[in-house]
Chains A and B, each alone.
Chain A
Amino acid sequence: MEESQNPVYKNKDYGKYREMLYSSYTGGKFEKAVGFHGEADRVILEQAWDLFKERIEDARQRVLAGKASPVVFYMEKNLLDPLGLSMVAGISLLRVKWHFRPNAFKRLSNNTLGKYAKAFNISIEQLKKVE
């Protein structure tokens, strides 16, 4: 397939990923072309990833300060929210929120820890510590 003639999609700085886009010119003809990301796409994607990184860092600080349990950190790291985590791990939303407290986390059974570990795709030992 040919490279796009449309100048907007000629930005090759961002990623190696090319997507197909349909575009209309003033002549009213519809064309499809394969192109790279433009500036606007880069900005809005970066915005999302900046927020995720911020949230992960924030969660890490709170866990290290003893204000939250490691579940919070790994939840943010997997880009989940409490509802999503409860669906992935198969634990009810109220219990998930309860386990965000460090004291509640310390008392968890191996069975429940295993559910979280499986959801985050890590081992139970990894789940217990955050560095």
Chain B
Amino acid sequence: MAKIEFEHRQAGHCESGVTSNLLHHHKFDISEPMAFGIGAGLFFSYLPFLKMQHAPTTSFRVWPGQVFERATKQLGIKTQVHKFRNPKDSMDKLNEVLDQGIPVGLQVGTFHLPFFPPEYRMHYNMHNMVVYGHENGIYFISDTLMDRLVEITYDDLVRVRYAKGVFAPEGRMYYPTYVPKNIDLRPGIIKGIRKTANNMVGVPFPLIGVKGIRYLAKSMRKWEKKLGPEKASYYLGQVLRMEEEVGTAGAGFRFIYGAFLNEAADVLKQEWLRELSFEMGENANKWREFSYKGSRNCKKRGKPEESYDYLADMLLVCADNEQKIFKKLATIKG
């Protein structure tokens, strides 16, 4: 079986990029920010009890798999998701689906991915990519983070699909089965915005949403005293890595969400959304400023140039901005 015709488009965020590319293959054009927004991908959570690479986890997105599931459900697209215990079964099923001419999305771990840049090969199990064909045990991959198409062998593919650890992919594979002809984006956008607004300001739990940002700011002030300068600097670096590195399209998805609000204003014909999108852009610039100031701290290990109090204050400003934006967004009407 040869390759399927598949257009590779690079994207900022792996999962919304995969969603957008898969739907584009099925003749339904949806941009990456739109898929991200309808899937309600924006999130914030600070999980000090869950250690990743020896430091607490900060997440700027929802759990893996949710963007694809929610976006397709809201748009009335039928999908099929498979998980297998036995690697051989899952590879057989993958071959079978590819032979029918359907490109398949996969959840994989990044540590053993051979084509990935070496500086990114850490244990991170929430990466997504598309397989669009196979031939003699070689699989053709479209990875939205890469600027070109790549290939992978059978053994390597089994290894990355069955990576173990936190959020293990367990060979998860997904593809759309039925895409309706005329899709109305409007109800999906409104539901997506409501869900995101609720996630950010409506959850009565201190580690999630705007409250999570404030909690992070509060604990950041104590890091230096509690952990010593080196470890505190490493903890800060972990927050920044989560914000800028792991396929976030910059500033912890805030830019991508601003782009979504901008597009939503066109579709819904509501101008106030455009104003909010600019506010979101400003907010994203604040986040980026935070990461540049923070990285200066990480550079001089042990002798922070920018104090943690200063950085925590910056975080509080971001939290206030976001609370204002999402309080307004929660009142959206169709």
Contact = CB atoms under 8 A, between A and B. Distances in A.
A10 to B, nearest CB: 15
A98 B93 CA distance: 40
B295 A43 contact: yes
Interface string A48-67: 11010000000000000000
B122 interface: yes
Contacts of B238: 48
Given A30-B262, A79-B53, A43 B165 contact: no
Contacts of B240: 40, 44
A79 B111 contact: yes
Nearest to A87: B164
A47 B292 CA distance: 14
A104 interface: no
B183 to A, nearest CB: 23
B123 to A, nearest CB: 6
A92 interface: no
Interface string A1-32: 10000000000000111111111100010101
A41 B247 CA distance: 12
Contact of A79 (B11, B123, B256, B258): B123
A93 interface: no
Interface in B117-137: 117, 119-120, 122-123
Task: Tell me the dominant secondary structure on chain B's binding face.
Answer: helix
Interface stretch (B60-68, B186-194, B277-285): B277-285
A74 to B, nearest CB: 14
A84 B145 contact: no
A45 interface: yes
B contact residues, range: 35 or more
B6 interface: no
Contact of B145 (A15, A19, A45, A47): A19
B255 A48 contact: no
Given A17-B117, A44-B245, A22 B256 contact: yes
A32 B10 CA distance: 10
A101 B291 CA distance: 41
Contacts of B291: 40, 44
Interface of A: 1, 15-24, 28, 30, 32, 34, 39-41, 43-45, 47-49, 51, 78-81, 84, 87-88
Sort A-B residue pairs by CB-CB distance and give the 4 closest, nearest first.
A24-B281, A22-B255, A40-B295, A17-B117
Given A21-B250, A43-B295, A49-B119, 6 more contacts: A22-B259, A23-B255, A24-B258, A24-B281, A40-B295, A44-B241
30 contacts: A1-B10, A1-B147, A17-B117, A17-B119, A18-B147, A19-B12, A20-B10, A22-B255, A23-B250, A24-B285, A28-B278, A28-B281, A30-B33, A30-B259, A30-B277, A32-B249, A34-B10, A40-B295, A41-B244, A41-B245, A43-B298, A44-B237, A44-B245, A44-B291, A47-B233, A48-B238, A48-B241, A51-B54, A51-B234, A80-B123
